[in-house]
Structure 1
Amino acid sequence: MKLIVILCLSLMSLKANAQIDSVDQLVSKGIDSIQFSIWNVMNKELSTRNNVQTYQRLIAKKRLEKKDKKLFLKTVVNPKSYNQSRAVLTHHNLVFSLYAENKIVLEIKISSYTGNINIGKKTDGIFIRSHCSKRFSKVLVRLLKRNGFLVLMDDLLTEGIRSNE
């Protein structure tokens, strides 16, 4: 019985590592621009029992400058930017839309509340789920500050990335 449990855990670990290694394959070298947006998201998981609301409101969006684009792409493809933990909540409020030839080729959605990260390639239906490491969190906070977004966010909603600083 112990052998089966150990085998299952080993296989799950290999699968998780394989997902992280494939981020580099998802991010194509032809990325023209990156749009960074922050959202006010309320879903059933974050609502109180007496006040169940769901909505998504765009707070701000901005095209990343060349140096920020380079920093973000370098961080996204680095395997050390991710760790194996994952919060249960599905909330996300930071969205990076990666464009090539004026079309979105990849969306990276991050929860500043939990640190969860979802990477999706719409054209191929490929989807990766992981969690931001300290390294990635520091880059996110830097990008929020540089683009004037950090002042728009509640401190509680940045707990998932600030706790990694």
Structure 2
Amino acid sequence: MSEKLQVGQQAPAFKLPRDGGSSISLADLKGKKVVLYFYPKDDTSGCTKEAMEFNALRADFAAANAEIIGVSADSVQSHDKFKAKYSLDFPLASDEEKAMLEAYGVWVEKSMYGRKYMGIERTTVLVGADGAIRQVWPKVKVPGHAAEVLAAAKSA
């Protein structure tokens, strides 16, 4: 696992496949703020609530010149179904190889009922228009999180 990201450092570059069959990269979004929210799994209760909260505020994020991108290790096909089921209106990037997840320090050892396994730590990273990390929210609790990220995006 890589080091945790620090505010002020340049965000690690990435290019990932996304829903709909195209790809998305940090370079494509140069000049915009980017909200990267990392979530464990499509169509699970917490991940669905988080996606819906971000989706409900997407116009406000756009007004703040900020792009929302959801990232998980799920396949593009899984993302397509998840996006269609909940009418999500922002990109979902797929990192099945986990290289980007590792670069951002969110692919971590987790534990449930005494069993250890590797998985995504629910984390959000706000990248400034200059490509530098503005804020990192580790171990996110979903209720109200999207609004907190929006407030930070407006002032970044």
TM-score normalised per structure 1: 0.28
Q: Which has the larger radius of gyration?
A: 1
TM-score normalised per structure 2: 0.29
Write 1 or 2 for the structure with the bigger share of helix.
1
